[in-house]
Structure 1
Amino acid sequence: MTRVLVVEDDPQLVRALKINLQARKFEVVEAGDGATALRLAAARTPDAILLDLGLPDMDGVEVIRGVRGRSHVPILVLSARHTSEEKIRALDAGADDYVTKPFSMDELLARLRAATRRREAPASPAGIPGIATDEFTIDLAARKVVRGGRTVRLTPTEWHLLELLIARPGHLVSQRRLLLEVWGPAYSEHTNYLRVYMAQLRRKLEANPSHPRYLITEPGMGYRFEP
């Protein structure tokens, strides 16, 4: 059974989420504040986290960073904060998706299913076992990246994006295809998501992120991995 950690301090919303999730055979673990969320994320090893940013004891972005320090679990933000800056801040911290309140329960559940599918997706696209460059190595079977002798932590969304790019080395992968494959049809125009995640990947993998050697942008078209 898929276990979901719900981090939310609004009892009515928690109740609605719990009813809908349990009706679809999810196991629900609840946390009303950030400290409890971090403790439960470590102790109960959830398969996904639904996280409100406006928690009583800390900003939800701090929770994202705390979880990302030790886990790749998908994190879906639920927030009344509408600005692009807030969304990018959460995504940049390691969130996998951002759902603005009020939201459709059906849409949220669809995004949750997509996030858990991404986590469970096969590691090796097109039969490629891995990639070795002068800067880093990628072991797709083990879902492991090593750079400078140290393991680089990637979120499930970062992994999915990277896998799509390295599956066709040297070839352009369109923005639309990446958005559809990683986030789904509802995000086919959200190119800002790609910019955020490509920037994150470059910071983690490139020696000079502002002048990337491997993760190349084709302006207005898409991205390619240059081995």
Structure 2
Amino acid sequence: MPPKILIVDDEPDILELVQTRLELAGYETIAAESGEEALKSFFTARPDLALLDLEMPGMDGFELCERIRQMSDVPIIFLTAFGSEDHRVKGLQVGADDYVVKPFSKNELVARVEANLRRASMPSIQRDEQVYADPVLTIDHQAHMVTVRGSEISLSPLEYRLLTALLKHPGQVLSHNQLLDLAWGPNSSETSTDSVRLYISYIRGKIEEDPKRPRLIETVREFGYRYVRPLGNTERAAA
């Protein structure tokens, strides 16, 4: 059975164009012209990936992305005419995995869909260990539940993959490119190390007591990052 792609756009011409391109590439598509309609379709059809327009009347793409993230970690790609850094950053913050700016080529669209589906099908890092625990952080990999100092936190799929990549190599420095491979996937179209820095800052904001003075995720200048496993009941200061 081919993967199902939910396509959401309030412009019928764009909706039809994207549907045609993806169906020719062998995908099954579900179309919706509003965020409300898309949410209903998501519940009933359970797609493998969602392509969301940003600007829509009523529920916009940002809100729709957040609502989907409350119930699923399927790949989400924003497909929008808004290509500014602010829009892209906000899109990633609310849980999107990728961002394609209109106008786009047929090959780019299909390649982005294929790459995100491929990453989603990769085995989770540390899947062999059901639970990771240290004095600060606990992760139930089967339930994708993360707790910090006893309180559950919410991580986007990319944040989760990036954090678990660091946890699998405690004390080991991982370069920006290694983290891109581990979290985004070796075939990802994402090549900017700025994305790694951005997501590290998001994770620090959720797990560090003082994100401006991080003790868990340590920066190794001009190389990358490492997770400093806490000893006992206190966090070890960064070297």
Secondary structure at the aligned position of 1:159 is classed as: helix
More helix, by proportion = 1
Contact 2:95 2:157 in 1 (8 A): no
Tell me the equivalent position of 1:63.
64
Tell me the equivalent position of 1:218.
220
Secondary structure at the aligned position of 1:187 is classed as: coil
Relative to the length of structure 1, the TM-score reads 0.87
Q: How many residues align?
A: 226
- Specify which of 194, 197, 209 is matched with residue 207 of structure 1: 209
Structure 2 residue runs of 5 or longer lacking an equivalent are 230-239
TM-superposed CA distance for 1:78, in Å, is: 0.9
What is the CA–CA distance in structure 1 between the aligned matches of 2:157 and 2:127, rounded to whole Å?
A: 18
What is the CA–CA distance in structure 1 between the aligned matches of 2:214 and 2:42, rounded to whole Å?
A: 34
Provide the identity percentage. 35
Contact 1:72 1:154 in 2 (8 A): no
Q: List aligned pairs for 1:2-41, cutoff 5 A.
A: 2-41=3-42
Tell me the equivalent position of 2:190.
187
**Structure number, greater radius of gyration:** 2
TM-superposed CA distance for 1:178, in Å, is: 2.1
CA separation of 1:169 and 1:28: change in aligned 2, threshold 3 A: same
Secondary structure at the aligned position of 2:177 is classed as: helix
TM-superposed CA distance for 1:28, in Å, is: 0.8
Deviation string, structure 1 residues 194-223 (Cα, Å, up to 9, x no partner): 233222222333333333222222344222
Higher mean alpha-carbon deviation, 128-137 vs 48-57, is at 128-137
TM-superposed CA distance for 1:157, in Å, is: 2.0
What is the CA–CA distance in structure 2 between the aligned matches of 1:219 and 1:120, rounded to whole Å?
A: 33
Read off the aligned partner of 1:31 and give its amino acid letter: A
CA separation of 1:129 and 1:112: change in aligned 2, threshold 3 A: same
Contact 2:125 2:165 in 1 (8 A): no
Secondary structure at the aligned position of 1:98 is classed as: strand
Secondary structure at the aligned position of 2:31 is classed as: strand
Read off the aligned partner of 1:212 and give its amino acid letter: P
Deviation string, structure 1 residues 91-124 (Cα, Å, up to 9, x no partner): 1111111111111221222221221222221124
Read off the aligned partner of 2:5 and give its amino acid letter: V
Contact 2:51 2:77 in 1 (8 A): yes
What is the CA–CA distance in structure 2 between the aligned matches of 1:26 and 1:149, rounded to whole Å?
A: 42
CA separation of 1:37 and 1:211: change in aligned 2, threshold 3 A: farther
Read off the aligned partner of 2:227 and give its amino acid letter: F
Q: List aligned pairs for 1:59-138, cutoff 5 A.
A: 59-125=60-126, 128-138=129-139
Relative to the length of structure 2, the TM-score reads 0.83
What is the CA–CA distance in structure 1 between the aligned matches of 2:146 and 2:102, rounded to whole Å?
A: 35
What is the CA–CA distance in structure 2 between the aligned matches of 1:217 and 1:172, rounded to whole Å?
A: 9
